Amino acid sequence: MNTSELIDVIASKSGLPRADACRALDATTDIINKTMSSGNNIHLTDFGSFIVRGHPAPESINKQTGEMIKIDVPKVVEFKAGRNFREIIDQ
Task: Determine the 3-state secondary structure of 72 from DSSP.
Answer: coil
Helix orientation angle between 3-14 and 18-37, rounded to the nearest 10 degrees: 120
**Cβ–Cβ under 8 Å, residues 77 and 42:** no
**pTM of structure:** 0.73
Tens-place pLDDT, residues 11-65: 999 999 999 999 999 999 999 999 999 999 999 999 999 999 988 888 898 888 9
**Cβ–Cβ under 8 Å, residues 10 and 25:** yes
**Cβ–Cβ under 8 Å, residues 27 and 10:** no
